[in-house]
Amino acid sequence: MDRLSTVANGLTSAQVVGAKPNHVPRRSSRSLSAIVRANVFTLFNLVIGVLWALVLIFGEWQDSLFGLVIVANVLIGIIQELRAKRTLDKLAVINEAPVRVRRDGEERLVQPRQVVLGDLILLGPGDRLLVDGEVIESDGLEVDESLLTGEADPVHKQPGDEVLSGSFAVAGAGAFVATRVGTDAYAVKLAEEASKFHLAHSELREGVANFIKYITWLVIPIGALLIYSQLKHSADFGTAITGAVAGIVTMIPEGLVLMTSIAFAVGVVRLGRRKCLVQELPAIEGLARVDVLCLDKTGTLTAGGMDLDQVLPLRDGHPVEDALAALAHLDHSPNATAQAIRARYQNARDGWTAGETVPFSSARKWSGAHFGERGAWVLGAPDVLLDGGDAYERAAELATTGARVLVLGRARTLPAPQAAEARTEPDRTPIEADRTGVEADGAEIEADGAGVEADGAGIEAVALVTLKQRVRPDAQETLRYFAKQGVTVKVISGDNPTAVSAIATGLEIPDAHRSIDARDLPYDDEAKLGELLDSHTVFGRVSPRQKRQFVTALQARGHTVAMTGDGVNDVLALKDADLGIAMGAGSPATKAVAQVVLLDDKFATLPHVVGEGRRVLANIERVSNLFLTKTFYAIVLSLVVGVAGVMFPFAPRHSTLTNALTIGIPALFLALAPTFERSKPGFVPRVLRFAVPAGVLCAAAVLLSFWAAHSGTSTLVEDQTSAVITLFLTTWWVLVLIARPLNWWRIALVASMAAAFAIGLTIPFVRHFFALEPGDLSNDLTAVGISIVAAVMISVAVKVAGTLRT
């Protein structure tokens, strides 16, 4: 007894001091050392570092400017990621739901990292289990372990049972002692093994990684060929080295990874200013691809709380208000419905002491308790507890106003939770239940027009209770935005379909009047389910398991699905959606599995979230076209020069100048520009269809210009200047094509780059620094003419490639 008493009172303050804390790496950001390693220790940086050293040793220092660009890339990348890390860490602290523990015999709220081994942790509906433990108290406690086991059915927990981190409470209340914390906890080990917990899929991230991988394999043999060719056919060793370095450095898209990191980091910071926590960086990409947004009505279209409106007695002589007050005060962690009733009935009545209780759960859609001589009482959804009759019809009529309607019923004995749940099982429709009855655990539910019989307990409808839901003032404008952006909205809710339809119709959601009762949907035919989901907008009486099926069926039809939610009934769907978005006031379990959390609980933040995702992805595709065009023209130049055994057409300082004006500086602006395009799958093929023909044509123009000049009497520097003019004009035209549609600032951007190059050709100091001598007018005019022809051919090639886009 002494031990039990000690456990029930929790740890003492002295015991907490020396206990092992619950230290777990944050999911939303990586450490400072990891950021530095990721930006500094890369294969490309190693290659460029070696080339930089070679030029400094054997060439002129002006040709080593490309090394300073790499230093700048590393510093900018680290600074931007650190900035994003600070934003994420601050928001993550705000997002961390405090944990209820009992210490020194008193209930306290502590931060998750302050939980220690041996703590007594208290649980209520929606609470997430952060650590592993052993249950010592259970009042109808039910735990959902589906994120760990894949089994969707809640598990009833009794004292002595084990509970695992990564699960969450869905009904009842209880307490457990923490037996494994920090990195010893089950969910943390799963995360380390990348089992059930993983980063959001990122086609962009994988595409860039594939580009880098394949280019790396190309750079090694082509670079070796180029070095051999230059050394063999050049009398000057220094010229040979700088020529080889010019080709190899140009092949490397060193700024592509930087621009991708900057775009993600800036997106995180921008969203952070709007109190939006991005828990997985690639989730920003998912925002851009969304074409179906599934909204849970409660907490999303409507505000989190409700107000008790009417209590309508159906029969005289029953203590309706006393029963309501007693039921509302049963749960130590009341849901929104119980809170609304408590606001009017602030204290439970004397003499209403509960014995057996059944806590509310989203699967059952009712709760109840037995109050001794006062009998058994239940409160829940009329279409779950009633089978027709006047009360059912009246409840349906009230639901058409958009109110949430509950029925208060009295029974001879408290119905078994399993028997009532059987009525909402997906493999049987309500029509079948009315005709044949439902058998569950040996108990038969029969419809008699007056109520439901479960385990011999006849439920008599005593009163109807209506609650007013608060529609968010910003909901209608936000929904209009999604309609304009081509994002289809689906409203799915556990509430009565008529009530959901009324609210959706008031918000002017298309086809909202055609609601469907989810219990009538096919569950063994995903194709048919997908068709119904495509053709309808509003769905009511959707179970947690069905929400997950909805997401899967929509994904099977090629949709990119985002799911919003705030309750434990949304957790499974949020986890399986392409993008899970949780409301800040939602349950800890919901916020734990979502990739994006709206901390300020504002539905109006969603357009900014989607817009930011589209900006990031569309702009990264733009700058990828720029960088990879450079890579492909460098590959072609290096191959041709290496095989033919001729001199490389320009020096490293020339490529530094042209790359800065046509790629580096413009890319920085384009990567951060606003855009409203919805991204489509196929990032890698689209970039290759643009960059390969553009790069090949640029290389052909440069080689033709250089060889035309080299065949005359001009000097090597003049010949290289002609090649540089051609290189700049062709890549500048590629920039013009990529910057489309041209607005005032994009026109100013491309014009300023052209002006900067022209000024550089006219200022003696700049000309000397970059080894440019535009002295042979014939060669320079030939270079301009070749560039114009190449620009026309590039435009045609890009247009043809554009017709192949899906």
Catalytically active residues are 296
CA separation for the pair 537, 533 (Å, rounded): 7
CA separation for the pair 406, 68 (Å, rounded): 70
Paired strand residues for 538:
491, 515
CA separation for the pair 738, 619 (Å, rounded): 10
Pairing of strands 488-492, 292-296: parallel
- For 209-221, letters b (16+ CB in 10 Å) and e give eebbeebeebbee
- Whole-angstrom CA distances from 673 to 71, 154, 484 are 24, 47, 20
Pairing of strands 460-471, 457-458: unpaired
State whether the Cα torsion 495-501-502-507 is positive or negative. positive
In a 13 Å sphere around the CA of 155, the CA atoms on its Cβ side amount to 19
Q: What is the DSSP code (8-state) at residue 333?
A: S
Element (H, E) at 516: strand 515-517
Q: Name the token pair of 237.
A: 């060793």
Q: Name the token pair of 224.
A: 């070796």
Pairing of strands 120-123, 457-458: unpaired
Q: What are phi and psi of 272, to 5 degrees?
A: -60, -35
Query: CB–CB of 499/540 below 8 Å?
Result: yes
217 CB-near residues (< 8 Å, 6+ apart): none
Concatenated DSSP letters of 528-545: HHHHHHHH--EEES--HH
**Helix/strand/coil for 557:** coil
Return the HEC string of 99-150: EEEEECCEEEEECHHHCECCCEEEECCCCECCCEEEEEEEEEEEEECHHHHC
Q: What is the DSSP code (8-state) at residue 681?
A: S
- For 309-341, letters b (16+ CB in 10 Å) and e give bebbebeeebbbbbbbbbbbbbbebbbbbbebb
Helices and strands: H and E segment counts in the chain? 31, 25
CA separation for the pair 74, 91 (Å, rounded): 26
